[in-house]
Amino acid sequence: MKSIYLLLVAALLAGCAHNSPRLRYSNPGAGYQEFADVSYQCERANSRIVAVAVVTTAGEISPEERAVDCVKFDACMKRKGFIKSSDGIFKLGKDVKMDCAE
């Protein structure tokens, strides 16, 4: 019963975060691997847990979910040379959850 309660709480908290609007970045001197490394570092440094991992009564595992602070993430990316741009060639993964006040 406790796992069902945790699953419901996790689902409610996950509703606070939403899928990334597919943010784009540009940096003429960078390659995709550098973008992937930098965006991962900025994502991890500026995220918080919004839903903990739980095991349901059916034995399934619901993974931990994190939400990334948009403003802090953008500042981190900018410090590392990646500028947010509507026509940037680098796209943030669609599985990244962003916590944006916008």
Q: Which two tokens stand for residue 38?
A: 């930098």
List the one residue out of 16, 25, 14, 22 whose CA is nearest residue 75.
Answer: 25
- Split at pLDDT 50, 70, 90, the class of 5 is very low
- Residue-level pLDDT at 12: 41
Q: What is the pLDDT of residues 69-89, one digit of tens each?
A: 989 999 999 999 999 998 999
- pTM (predicted TM-score): 0.66
Which residues, at least 6 apart from 54, have a Cβ–Cβ distance to it below 8 Å? 3, 6, 7, 10, 61, 62
